Amino acid sequence: MKDNSNTGKQEGTRTTSDRFSTGLGVLMATLGSAVGLGNIWKFPYLTGSNGGAAFLVIYIICTILVGYPIMIAEHSLGRKGRGDAVSTFKKLAPKSVWWIVGAMGILAAFLIMAYYTEVAGWVFAYVFKSFGSGLLSTDPAVTTSVFTSLVTNPVQSLVWQWVVLIVVSAIILMGVTKGIEGTTKKLLPILAILLVIIGIRSITLPNAAQGLSFLFKPDFSKITAATVLTALGLAFFKLSIGMGAMLTYGSYYGDSQNIPANAARVVAADLTVSILAGIAIFPAVFSFGFEPAAGTQLLFITIPSVFASMPFGKFFMILFFLLTSFAAIGAMISLVEVVVAFLVNYAGMDRKKATLLTAAGMAVFGSLAALSNSSLSAVTIFGKTFFDFYDFTTSNIFLPVGGLLLAVFTAWIWGWNKFHATTSNEGTITNVSFTRIIFSILKYVTPILVAIILLAGLNIVHL
């Protein structure tokens, strides 16, 4: 705690102890934010409901072409600003209204946490359910009913969400470096190995080929403008960009870290984990007769069937949900950190109070999502339950708009000279031709492309 409580109100006053101690620590913490329920839960459910391989192709293009440059931009702005999402803009562009982008990010963090904590709650609950025998079945009716009985129970839904919030707040109170670096460093590689093991089982199931062709044989006729926006939103969500999380993490980066190289590793690892999760799930979906477009429940109803059909299934299932909850915690820490860093750094609040206040606010927003399958299932905004509304608006509106504005700010306001100085560590890394390409993408491609996808995807303009 002492690491961060002395940052005070001024910007740029972080001590070196606030920064990640090692290069590996930086990579792992950033990965800890990126890899989470987005890979294990959201990627499969969206790929399943949007037709499979064609969606995957668009998602990969969005990740590399749009996501990667924005991640570099956020890390650079963050390291230069050495503050939270709002103070960084106030520092880099004083007397302008660009800080609103940071404020939008803080709101987005709240809205994402409101439903993310619910899904994390399901994962926590499944760790316990995995110890029993009710879940280990290859029958869709059985696994679906286990899931339904959990989410339609308002008390269980709320309690699990609170457990999640308490665990995350407790870790945050232990301080950035210890809390984030320590856990993710050890656990992410194990999660990746486990996904490979599950994937091997899944692709050796009867009819697995059907699942693999669903995932890897694109049929672009299924793609609409709304699908492209969903793929773009997923790319932003997956990389934790467009809302200040990577900007806040950038502020903890040491001066000698190579930002473009680090971001490339994060993007590659994040994509790999998503695809591994897809390989683990889709063959089983087709093998056991699940519905690929089952929606948010896809992971929870399908994955137990893979475990039910492998040796030591119960052991692997416990391990899987346990590791997934750790991955979710890493992502949630970065979301809470966006708000806490703002309250500590900008509003001068004590770190402990800021964390507790943030968690309490998230519990309030979150309860509406937690009750979306039970008491509040009939309450809708624009035809969506609170859960779906939070999910849709954050990924399909907040993050793309935030990313677009971040790109415009970096390329048109901050400018090449500062971007180049930061991405080359004041000229000590020779990467000028590469960063020039990244800068041009941020300047021209990102704003135009994201604007078109947003307008068409939201049906504002018909292409």
**Which spans of this chain sit near ligand PHE (rule: CB under 6 A)?**
33-34, 36-39, 112, 237-238, 240, 243, 245, 331, 334-335
Comparing CB distances to ligand PHE, the nearer of 3 and 74 is 74
CB of 75 to ligand PHE, least distance (A): 14
Comparing CB distances to ligand PHE, the nearer of 116 and 386 is 116
What is the C-alpha to C-alpha distance for residues 175 and 426, in angstroms, rounded to an integer?
29
Six-digit token pair at 123? 């994962």
Comparing CB distances to ligand PHE, the nearer of 271 and 284 is 271
CB of 207 to ligand PHE, least distance (A): 29
CB of 210 to ligand PHE, least distance (A): 27
Comparing CB distances to ligand PHE, the nearer of 253 and 288 is 253
The angle formed by the CA atoms of residues 292, 295 and 298, to the nearest 5 degrees, is 60
Comparing CB distances to ligand PHE, the nearer of 120 and 442 is 120
Six-digit token pair at 373? 């399958």
Residue type, 178: K
- Contact between 327 and 39 (Cβ < 8 Å): yes
Got the DSSP string for 393-406? HIIIIIHHHHHHHH
CA dihedral 61, 453, 40, 46 (to 10 degrees): -120
CB of 1 to ligand PHE, least distance (A): 22
Name the residue whose CB lies closest to ligand PHE: 38
Comparing CB distances to ligand PHE, the nearer of 88 and 424 is 88
Say how many residues make up the chain. Answer: 463
For the packed helices 85-92 and 99-129, what is the interaxial angle rounded to 10 degrees?
160
CB of 288 to ligand PHE, least distance (A): 26
Comparing CB distances to ligand PHE, the nearer of 225 and 273 is 273
With H, G, I as helix, E, B as strand and everything else as coil, classify residue 382: coil
What is the C-alpha to C-alpha distance for residues 344 and 458, in angstroms, rounded to an integer?
36
With H, G, I as helix, E, B as strand and everything else as coil, classify residue 59: helix
CB of 34 to ligand PHE, least distance (A): 5
Residues β-bridged to residue 381: 384
CB of 46 to ligand PHE, least distance (A): 12
CA separation, residue 12 to residues 6, 84, 186, 379 (Å): 12, 10, 31, 45
